Amino acid sequence: MESLIIFFIFTFILCSQIPIADRYKEKKGIETNSRDIMKTYIYAFIVIELWISMFFCQDKLYFYLAVFGLVAYFLYRTYTEDILKNKYKDAPRLYKITTIIVQAILIIYQLIFFMTLEDGHGVSSFKKIEFSIVLPSLILVVLWLSYYLSKKSLSKIFVEKDTYRKVFIILQTLFIVIFAGFIIYNFININRFDFYLDRM
């Protein structure tokens, strides 16, 4: 029960801190620019991915995460900082391409994570009944953050109805579909996991 309480506290913080920060800026008359929204989007979804990884405590995933993370960061840094920034500086196109690159990286990471999760995998943080509550809650978290941050991104970064906007919407939809599919599959097949706390 303690783990479930901590989960809901963290969920509340994750889902509320971004809207609260935005509202505070509005009251203070501070304008939220494209760069801020891009950084918030990247932060929120990276936290979600790492959070999911921690739930499942998949040891070998940390190796994939380390290698893939280093390669992805190198490509991202080289492309955005060295090539795009020099070419576009603070042009809106820089933030569009950067956000799309991060979306693609997160989708690839999701697929690696989901495909390497095997039957009989141990879950040490939750009992079975608690885990059956956590899984649907994760979908609600992703849906809420996707709605809020996508709305902000479309109003500030992907303003023009161009190819970048279409790609962003497609990738965000794909991210949600893959994530929801994974959660629903594991909720239906929850017995595939080995719950350590239920054996104590």
Rounded to an integer, the average pLDDT of 24-37 is 80
What is the extent of the structural domain holding 117? 2-199
Only one residue has tokens 């706390």, namely 197
pLDDT of residue 71: 58
pLDDT of residue 187: 92
d(CA 35, CA 80): 13
Asked whether residue 90 carries a pLDDT value surpassing 60, the answer given is no
The CA distances from residue 91 to 35, 37, 137, 168, in Å, are 10, 14, 38, 17
Highest mean pLDDT out of 18-22, 69-73, 80-84, 163-167: 163-167
Across 50-59, 99-108, 150-159, 174-183, least confident range: 50-59
Three-class SS of residue 122? strand
Q: How confident is the model at residue 32 (pLDDT cuts 50, 70, 90)?
A: confident
- pTM of the predicted structure, to 2 decimals: 0.81
Per the DSSP assignment, residues forming a β-bridge with 122 are 194
Q: How confident is the model at residue 61 (pLDDT cuts 50, 70, 90)?
A: low
Q: How confident is the model at residue 80 (pLDDT cuts 50, 70, 90)?
A: low
Q: What percent of the chain has pLDDT over 70?
A: 80
Q: Looking at the 3D structure of the chain, how many domains does it have?
A: 1
pLDDT of residue 91: 65
pLDDT of residue 74: 56
Asked whether residue 159 carries a pLDDT value surpassing 80, the answer given is yes
